[in-house]
Amino acid sequence: MVNYINTAPIYEVWKETVRRQDWLVHEDAPAALCRMLAAGELDIGVVSSFEYSERPENYRIMEDLSISANGPVGSVFLFSREPLEGLDGRSVLLTSQSKTSAALVRVILEEFVGVRPVYATGDTRTVAAQVTAVLAIGDDALRLAREDRFRYRYDLGEIWKRETGLPFVFAVFAVREEYCRSHAGELAEIHREFLRCRARGREEMYLICSRVAPRIPMDCEDCYAYLRAIEHDLGAEKQLALEKYFGYLIARGEASAAALPLKIHRLPAAA
């Protein structure tokens, strides 16, 4: 499970209500979860969409679950000392925490804006003065936004929506193919628990915010507004959005052509 507060509407309920001792949960940043899932150290991971696009033969995407936004996401920002059009040849530091957002920045800057910066990847918690722009995500982005150190702040979800008319899916709930085959019944149980937690999380959103807002730290009302903008479903429009994003990556040689069409793990009908 991603250890950012954008998973809180599902994960806080899971921690409170799921008591299965045989379902072991590991918390980490997206990049670490991707490495573990790819290595077979996890069976299911809330991982960046990019991870699926790199190794689609290894995974299926769990039906109706994601971390996404239909417009501004509020925690995936390109902070910049120059407007986007002024970033040609300038230094852009990309977070090492999420390949999805890093690839999205490249698509936005190169395909939409038409500039080619000089990229570096590293820790965005300590931003050097000579860096022109920095991509930060999750809790790091929320903290950097509150520090107000850059003149320009671009929400990547908002730009994607403006350019494509579609939401953006930042992370998916991916399952390793062999686990789908060997543990179908248990997977269905876990899948239903995720959906149950999501439903309850929506109902208890303000209470959840009161728990997680101090982690940033941020005001509870601001946290509530932020989490209300995060969506956790994966309907037809969001599947189309994933296909659009993967199409850009495939054309740029950054993803496997086998990423399309999507492989969705469907939850079997309840008996």
Q: How far apart are CA 24 and CA 175, in angstroms?
A: 15
Residue 270 lies in a domain: no
Q: Which one, of 27, 35, 32, 33, lies nearest residue 10 by Cα? A: 27
The answer to whether residues 134 and 250 belong to one domain is no
The answer to whether residues 53 and 178 belong to one domain is yes
pLDDT for 252: 97
Read off the pTM: 0.94
Residue 174 lies in a domain: yes
The answer to whether residues 252 and 174 belong to one domain is yes
pLDDT for 128: 65
Structural domain range at position 123? 76-164
Q: What is the CATH number of the domain that holds 31?
A: 3.40.190.10
The answer to whether residues 172 and 247 belong to one domain is yes
The answer to whether residues 100 and 158 belong to one domain is yes
The answer to whether residues 172 and 261 belong to one domain is yes
The answer to whether residues 179 and 246 belong to one domain is yes
Q: What does pLDDT average to in each consecutive run of 10 residues of the chain (271 residues)?
A: 92 96 93 94 95 96 97 94 97 90 97 97 75 90 85 96 97 96 96 98 96 92 94 97 98 97 90 50
Angle in degrees, 0-180, between the axes of helices 99-106 and 156-164, rounded to the nearest 10: 50
Rounded (10°) CA dihedral 47, 53, 54, 57 = 100
Select from 135, 164, 193 the last residue of a domain.
Answer: 164
Q: Who contacts 49 (Cβ-Cβ below 8 Å, separation ≥6)?
A: 100, 169, 170, 171, 172, 242, 245, 246
Q: What is the number of domains present in the chain?
A: 2
The answer to whether residues 47 and 92 belong to one domain is no
The answer to whether residues 261 and 174 belong to one domain is yes
Q: What is the 3-state secondary structure (H, E, C) of 148-197?
A: CCCCEEEEHHHHHHHHHCCCEEEEEEEEEHHHHHHCHHHHHHHHHHHHHH
